[in-house]
Chain A
Amino acid sequence: MNLEKADHDNGVVLRVEDIHKTYGKNEILKGVSFHIKKGETIVIIGASGSGKSTLLRCINQLTIPEKGRIWLEGEEVTHHMKEISHFRQRIGMVFQDFNLFDHLCAVRNVEIGLIKVKKMDKKQAREIAMEELRRVGLERQANQYPAQLSGGQKQRVSIARALAMNPTVMLFDEPTSALDPELIGEVLEVMRDLAMGGMTMVVVTHEMGFARSVANEIIFIEGGKILDQGTPHKLFTNPEHERTRQFICKIDELYGKTEK
């Protein structure tokens, strides 16, 4: 099978195949496979500790899986650590606790990847960085340091930082879980705009309102495997497993029926 050719023809941006990851004696991921096409949004849900973050980190090889392969636009990412920088530049990542560079103001957080990794000249990098900050509504905060920003603003800067690299796909790891409830909306709005603008996104979140309205597909991870997957409509109304229904009910209990 020639996946490279096939993925290219079918518009598959990211293909994850049979990923296994073990920490110590715990097999966290026991063979996870999925793929995402250009412009789609996949939402991943699953209990805390089920390996969602581990899975995202495997995609850009921040964590190396023992087994399994990853392709980005038909090119194999796994087993190519020498070229990993080129893949990572095309895979934007947004973290639960932001991980903004604390010693740099907002605009420098956004431009540093362009300057250090893409070797862009400073003036051009600054222009792009300001453009991205404008896109997330934070151009007025350009010179503020992370410690001077609210949680929601920090997360928007971190989205701008990832977008500045002009990625092919964006990974979000619970981007709103560390935020006060009143700040969640502004981050989801940016993400929704991105999805509408055609960005390909893999989003770990329990914001079911967002999943319902934005996701093309929801993946439910349990016991290191994908237990259920399908359109939001299918998972909410007619999941394969009773366990999926229970989990979705539990999310609604925990986070409220966020209809947004």
Chain B
Amino acid sequence: MNTMHFITDILFPPLLEGLGVTLRLIVYSVPFGFIAGILIAVGRVYGNKLISTFCFLYTLFFRGAPLLVQLFILYFALPSIGLYLSSFTAAVIGFILCSAAYHSEYIRGAIQSIKSGQMMAAEALGMSKIQAVSSIILPQALRRAIPGCSNEIIYLVKYSSLAYMVACVELTGAGKVIASRYFEYTLVFSIVGIIYLIMTSVVTIGLNSLERKMEIPGIGK
């Protein structure tokens, strides 16, 4: 069997299917993970003692325990309390919870880097804390958090491959199946690797241009 034929007829169809799953994992996990990250960061910085402590413990757990263990809990342990998640759902929830923890730390750092005078000026105008956070603090902090959050999103693109461990056949999983059936590890995983590289490159370029577009005139450079 020639290599070209193997790639186009045997390898690509399942890989494309796997890629579709990977893209869906990413598309669901990234925005919800980011939004949850914002909420946790805000809760940590501006919440009362209870909320702030909860947010601290949240990041402690979800950054502290291995993602794979979290996925195993979601997929294999939850059924024991009667909660059955599909492998795709379990993976998405796991990714959202985990990336939220990382995003929240980048965003918290950015919030704390905003000078206290900004909040004071907002409150002096009569804004409530919530108004001040949403229209003054976050627009500035999120801009500063873009590089860190980009980093996390690129990680997520790659660690989405862990979904395979809870039986969600995404890109890496699809590759693994073909590779072991045909004993073509080098070829298959080279191609899989290149596809991840393309995805992370696209994300990197996209987020860089977002960062440039969001740049505040007169600051930076």
Contacts and interface: CB of A to CB of B under 8 A. Distances in A.
B143 interface: yes
Contacts of B187: none
Given A103-B143, A103-B216, A145-B218, A112 B118 contact: no
A165 B126 contact: yes
Contact of A147 (B115, B117, B125, B219): B219
B218 A62 contact: no
A60 B121 CA distance: 11
A17 to B, nearest CB: 21
Contact of A116 (B115, B117, B131, B217): B131
B11 to A, nearest CB: 48
B216 A102 contact: yes
A112 B124 CA distance: 12
Contact of B126 (A85, A95, A99): A85
A112 B218 contact: no
A38 interface: no
A89 B118 CA distance: 16
By secondary structure, the B interface counts as: helix
Interface string B173-207: 00000000000000000000000000000000000
B139 interface: yes
A228 interface: no
Given A95-B117, A95-B120, A102 B219 contact: yes
Interface residues of A, number: 31
28 contacts: A85-B126, A85-B128, A88-B125, A88-B126, A89-B125, A89-B126, A93-B124, A95-B117, A99-B117, A99-B120, A101-B121, A102-B118, A102-B140, A102-B219, A103-B140, A103-B143, A112-B135, A113-B125, A113-B126, A113-B127, A116-B127, A117-B131, A147-B216, A148-B218, A158-B121, A162-B125, A165-B125, A165-B126
Contacts of A60: 124
Contacts of A84: 126
Given A91-B124, A93-B121, 20 more contacts: A85-B127, A88-B125, A88-B126, A89-B126, A93-B124, A99-B118, A99-B120, A100-B121, A103-B139, A103-B143, A105-B217, A112-B125, A113-B126, A113-B127, A116-B135, A117-B126, A145-B219, A147-B216, A147-B218, A148-B218
Contacts, number: 75
A161 B117 CA distance: 15
A165 B126 CA distance: 9
B136 interface: yes
Interface in A85-126: 85-86, 88-89, 91, 93, 95, 97, 99-103, 105, 112-113, 116-117
Interface of A: 57, 60, 62, 84-86, 88-89, 91, 93, 95, 97, 99-103, 105, 112-113, 116-117, 144-148, 158, 161-162, 165
Interface string B15-55: 00000000000000000000000000000000000000000
Contacts of A112: 125, 135-136
A21 B60 CA distance: 37
A34 B126 CA distance: 24
Most-contacted residue by chain A among B115, B124, B126, B135 (CB, 10 A)? B124
Contacts of A102: 118, 140, 216, 219
A161 B131 CA distance: 17
Contacts of A99: 115, 117-118, 120-121
B135 A88 contact: no
B132 to A, nearest CB: 9
